[in-house]
Amino acid sequence: MNITDELNKYKSIIDSELEKIMPNEDSLQKKIFEAMRYSIFAGGKRLRPILTLKTSELISGSYEGALKIALSIEMIHTYSLVHDDLPPMDNDDFRRGKPTNHRVFGEDIAILAGDGLLNLAYETMLKSIPLNREYYKRYISAIREVSKAAGVFGMIGGQTVDIQSKDDVLEEKKLEFIHNKKTSALIEASIVSGAILAGASNEQINNLRCYGQAIGLCFQIRDDILDRIGDKKMLGKNIGSDETNHKLTYLSIYGMENSVREIQRLNKKAIESLSVFDDKESLFLKELANYLANRKS
């Protein structure tokens, strides 16, 4: 398996399905559709929705039933970026090499575009529930998983702690909270929701949850490293911004050597979590863990 080919193949699926589902009518509120589409089609890697599809496929052999939830997770991820980039938050001018939403549409529309993406995610997930099939319960359970990860006990909680400059909390404890909530929570939910939708057993769900937590943290630490030593062109954003903004990162607390060692440990843990699955069927998730641990962008 060539992991980048496989990622590209599934990225195309997500892109074309999003194209179908994102509102685009010529109506009075078309400006909000433009702004939402601008950010959702700004060149994201589609990591989260791909994880949902691939996990679903691992369990049931098919990703069809998980498609709408996967697209919704990408909307939630995108809304969080649009709001995080706003001037009162991280005040970022560029993302993925393009001007951020508020730089193109203004702060007011960017706030509404974020709100619109979050709400559309829920509208889309709610519409996807097959009301007359016994497995409607899986959908509700999966959507609950996503909603918890997105909320004040997940991403929003993580971002809250991240933007708070000073308090008397230990840096290590604070960093762990931010990493777990801000990044890992939705990555974990992407995987777990895909598993639930496909009818995974509790044991399978638990193992996949471990996998998700491990790659989520791994992803974040690699992000911190790339912000220091990455290639600006490949990343599509300036490097060194964490240091300039005095951001709390794994690197700033534990240093480079420990960060690299932690990535290796998490990567090993992720791959071990997959041992209950068929070797061949879980190959993609294994390769993906390795890929994320070593990624350059």
Cβ neighbours, 10 Å, residue 200 = 21
Site for a second copy in 8-37 (CB under 8 A): 23, 27-29, 31-33, 36
Q: Is 41 in the site for a second copy (CB under 8 A)?
A: no
Distances (CA, A) of 70 to 97, 160, 294: 25, 25, 25
| Of residues 27 and 297, the one with the C-beta less far from a second copy | 27
> And the tokens for 59?
């369990």
Q: Out of 7, 69, 150, 251, which residue is the one contacting a second copy (CB under 8 A)?
A: 150
CA-nearest of 137, 135, 220 to 175 is 220
Applying CB under 8 A, among 24, 89, 244, 272 the residue interacting with a second copy is 89
Looking at residue 274, the DSSP 8-state letter turns out to be: G
Q: Are 81 and 223 in contact (CB under 8 A)?
A: no
Q: Specify the stretch interacting with a second copy by CB under 8 A; choose among 38-46, 102-110, 212-220, 222-230.
A: 102-110
In order of 134, 150, 209, 290, the CA distances from 140 in angstroms are 12, 15, 18, 32
Place of tokens 């203004």: 106
Tokens of 32: 């909000």
In the complex, minimum distance from the CB of residue 131 to a second copy, in angstroms, rounded to a whole number: 5
Asked if 186 contacts 77 with a C-beta cutoff of 8 angstroms, the reply is yes
Between residues 69 and 274, which has the closer beta carbon with respect to a second copy?
Answer: 69
Can you tell me the distance from the alpha carbon of 244 to that of 229, in angstroms, rounded to the nearest whole number?
A: 14
Window 107-126: contact mask with a second copy (x via CB under 8 A): xxx-xx-xxx-xxx-xx--x
Judged by CB under 8 A, does residue 241 bind a second copy? no
Q: Does 192 bind a second copy (CB under 8 A)?
A: no
Q: How many residues bind a second copy (CB under 8 A)?
A: 55
CB 158, CB 202: distance < 8 Å: no
Nearest-approach distance from CB 103 to a second copy, in angstroms: 13
Which residue's CB is nearer to a second copy, number 139 or number 277?
139
Which residues contact a second copy (rule: CB under 8 A)? 23, 27-29, 31-33, 36, 79, 83, 86, 88-89, 106-109, 111-112, 114-116, 118-120, 122-123, 126-127, 129, 131, 136-137, 140, 143-144, 147-148, 150-153, 156-161, 163-164, 169, 173-174, 177, 181
